[in-house]
């Protein structure tokens, strides 16, 4: 029986020499791979009490929405600055080369709501740390963070050590 890892395409030396790029498009293109990934994320949440799923643009949308749909939960998008139409709050965070800014609608999370965050990949944890700040600023409680893949060598889990974190596939390297 295949696992989610069997559907991930590994591309050596992309975007630079020495890096192995883990491509999720091959999960998405195969109905069995997509179903395995979504069902795996749902299984991670079987004992978690939560109200809403949050996912960052764009791959968090891809995996978060089907989980929210299957579990009859709402979905809250986190987007790059300037993409949401109503009043937002934002957070700026560090990237490898510069900064970026994420936004969430100001009314998207109600105080006390229990939040699950879903994304495709955990690398350094910086983007997820920014998303957590947004959720908590609105009064939400992050009860679980789920990823399809984790690059353990980048130590993102250490940055998120105050939260339960799970990944379907863990790659030891970077």
Active site residues: 59, 96
Q: How far is CA 63 from the centre of its chain?
A: 8
């Amino acid at each position: 029986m295949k696992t989610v890892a069997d559907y991930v395409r590994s591309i050596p030396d992309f975007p630079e020499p020495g890096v192995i790029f883990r491509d999720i498009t091959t999960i998405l293109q195969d109905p069995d791979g997509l179903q395995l990934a979504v069902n795996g994320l749902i299984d991670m949440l079987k004992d978690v009490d939560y109200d809403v799923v949050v996912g960052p643009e764009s791959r968090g949308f891809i995996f978060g929405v089907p989980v929210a749909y299957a579990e009859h939960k709402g979905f809250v998008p986190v987007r790059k600055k300037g993409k949401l139409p109503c009043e937002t709050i934002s957070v700026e965070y560090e990237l490898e080369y510069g900064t970026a800014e994420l936004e969430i609608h100001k009314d998207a999370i109600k105080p006390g709501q229990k939040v699950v965050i879903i994304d495709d990949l955990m690398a350094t944890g910086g983007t997820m740390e920014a998303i957590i700040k947004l959720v908590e600023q609105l009064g939400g409680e992050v009860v679980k963070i789920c990823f399809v893949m984790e690059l353990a060598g980048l130590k993102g889990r250490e940055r998120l050590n105050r939260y339960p974190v799970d990944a379907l596939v863990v790659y030891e390297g970077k």
